[in-house]
Structure 1
């Protein structure tokens, strides 16, 4: 996990490579390459009509190991658009506008994660130049309940390898209740949009401490470890730096927290202790504790979901129960920061195409 956070940081020092971090990518201009199908005739339209863009940028694709690899949209790609148009119709207006800045929405025939997002590296003025998103195809085509989807993902943190969206009895139990109008896909889209808004608006902003020299040009991890959250940025609420929570938000098992590509990971024997340690922190969920970027994305998602009174998100272990929706409503500083953020005049990526 820490190595991946370090890699994504390298984009701020002008590296020419593309780096993946958890479920987020940052590419250089020209590295996002795809070819639309014949049925997707691209036309220009008003920036106020973000919904109309969805069918033109939805792109069903086969797996790729390299985000820079050119990809071809399958001919049936427009068939995936209606599910996303339904999501658009119920999103808050400030999230609807993210669709206007997307160059492509990949509908992945195969994907380990639920979804991912990415941006094109910022220009000299700091403006993010484009954005994209990928979603597991089965989530578009099948109406999986949120409990199954997020329960399956939660259990991955404990090394459980189950078929997609199957809850195994030996792992923690997740129970998610969404309003009738919402879905697991809705939650996922909001989470990925949060990543895009984070980078477009520098919500997470890490700087070299005053009086310190940070030589980032050589890409040495110890130099990146010196970076601290800029005053007023999101990271100040929970993070000492890019790779470490504040002492009061850290806990013994944090070093083993990992979902994807893990060299070390929590096990079933850690379940009770992990949630007992996580509960007093101001991380709203297990995934939020992974990094400052997932912390922001999960928190924005909970802020949007908690606008609905019937939203519930609970985790049950053999000996304890934890209400994450109640926890979010009680995390004053983060809740206020996020409300202020969503009330800003937000910046959005401009599509490259």
Structure 2
């Protein structure tokens, strides 16, 4: 039997050579704190492309300077960022991988000098800064910033855009009743809490017609947080708006102790895929090729995302192909040592 993990997968006009994805992971490597890519980024992402990864996501790129998670994060708030991002894309595509970018705003979890903003004026914990509650004008400006970021991503040549709606960052903060205590049209009911993401997707769709993913935290680890019923609702709405895939992570909304085990988040991707009839990505302590194969073979998700394991082994796709008998062509320079 051929390996399901190494079957191509097409979304819109983009075909991924296999179902293996490198998750977005902050690299904290912008040396001048200007959001521009460095030599490290060029080496880091391209090495995973040489290793056979089907889709490579860059780290979260901030759509505003104020929206960075840290001062060392990549940015996409300025046209000055396009050149470096374009180089990442070109180098990785040249080696056969597709490349995605995660557009993000850190909200109350930004660790920066100066004021930070969020749906409500509630700090993440006692050690972190208290954010200012966003005005409606700031909300509209931020939504436009996502659209401008998407336009720059298109100019840089990215194959996929993912909106970061997980891990307690700004979009997630609007979605969650734990962090969104607003009394206006952006707070209260799940329909209102979804409004910020809804309007962001609408703006992005004005300039982007390629594959569009949204990452969510499908478990908030708090009895007063969103339920799976809420996440199915959000996924249904995203599908109506043309989102192609829901990338299912968990946590980060409020401080929590998480009992992690191999594949502990896969069930969320499986349920959303089944109930919302939308493609999903599975992530969370997926380290072994047989784990990934089982997920795809049994149609629990459509793509498998690896994070820390991809840091440990840039050639993880080759490792998986050797174990599973997957069809993965070696770069011609490495043919004599690949098999």
TM tier relative to shorter chain: under 0.3
